[in-house]
Structures are given as C-alpha cells and as structure tokens.
C-alpha cells in the first residue's frame, strides 16, 4: 500500500498536509474514534498512508519514514540510557505532543514539518 509514495519524504508531506488541513479533530488515548475524522497524530498518519487505522500499521509506517532521533529527551523514566530504541523515542514523543499538550493537530503538523526539514526530532526544543 505504501508503494504509492516515492519515499518517506513524500509520505511525510502528505501526513503534514493532512495534520494541517483542519479536516481532523484531535483524539487522545486512541488512534481514531470509530470511523470519524477524530484521530490522534498517528491515526492521521494511517489515514494519510492508506493503511488501516491500527497499531499494527505503526511499525511499518515508522520503518518507511525512517524515523530516528538524536539526543531527544522525552519523559522522565522513558529514556534511561539506551534502553528504548531510537524509533520508539520519537513515537513516544509524538504521543506526548498529541496526548500531553494542548497542541492542535495543525500545530503538531507544523512542529513535525519544522523538525523533519532539519532532521532534528526534539519535541522539547519547542519551548514546552
């Protein structure tokens, strides 16, 4: 299903556009509320990619997007040494931006876009 995207950058652009579109209402604690447009940041990614809105889709999407993180402090106890895989750090960081802040999906999309351009995924660099 991801063949429609030339590469991870193409999917990032589609995901960011969907987040910033205003089409989705933000959900917390779940990927999607029923079959509505109420989704979390990863629910929007699933919809944008065409994959099922399911936690089973997230690993394939993270792999395709080649999500990695350098020096990202997430939440206390989440990152202790290198016990948490780098890809998992970003996933938890985005979960925090979605569920742990008052940011809207368009605001989260803006942050993802800024950091994707810089290839520097540091959610706490946003002055939160």
Rounded to two decimals, the pTM is: 0.76
Is residue 61 domain-resident? yes
List, for residues 22-47, the tens digit of each pLDDT value.
999 999 988 899 999 999 998 999 99
Is residue 126 domain-resident? no
Is residue 25 domain-resident? yes
Domain that holds residue 54: 2-120
pLDDT of residue 87: 53
Is residue 127 domain-resident? no
The total number of structural domains that make up the chain: 1
Residues in the chain: 128
56-to-2, 20, 41, 75, 99 alpha-carbon distances in Å: 14, 24, 15, 24, 20
- For the cut 60, the answer to whether the pLDDT of residue 84 exceeds it is no
> What is the C-alpha to C-alpha distance for residues 64 and 7, in angstroms, rounded to an integer?
8
- For the cut 50, the answer to whether the pLDDT of residue 126 exceeds it is no
Is residue 111 domain-resident? yes
């Amino acid at each position: 299903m991801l063949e429609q995207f030339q590469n991870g950058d193409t999917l990032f652009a589609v995901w960011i556009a969907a987040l910033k579109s205003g089409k989705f209402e933000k959900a917390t604690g779940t990927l999607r509320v029923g079959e509505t447009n109420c989704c979390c940041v990863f629910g929007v990614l699933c919809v944008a990619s065409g994959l099922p809105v399911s936690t089973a889709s997230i690993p394939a999407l993270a792999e395709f997007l080649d999500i990695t993180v350098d020096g990202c402090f997430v939440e206390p106890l989440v990152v202790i040494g290198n016990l948490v895989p780098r890809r998992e750090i970003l996933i938890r960081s985005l979960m925090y931006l979605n569920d742990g802040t008052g940011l809207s999906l368009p605001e989260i999309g803006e942050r993802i876009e800024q950091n994707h351009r810089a290839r520097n995924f540091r959610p706490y660099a946003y002055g939160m």
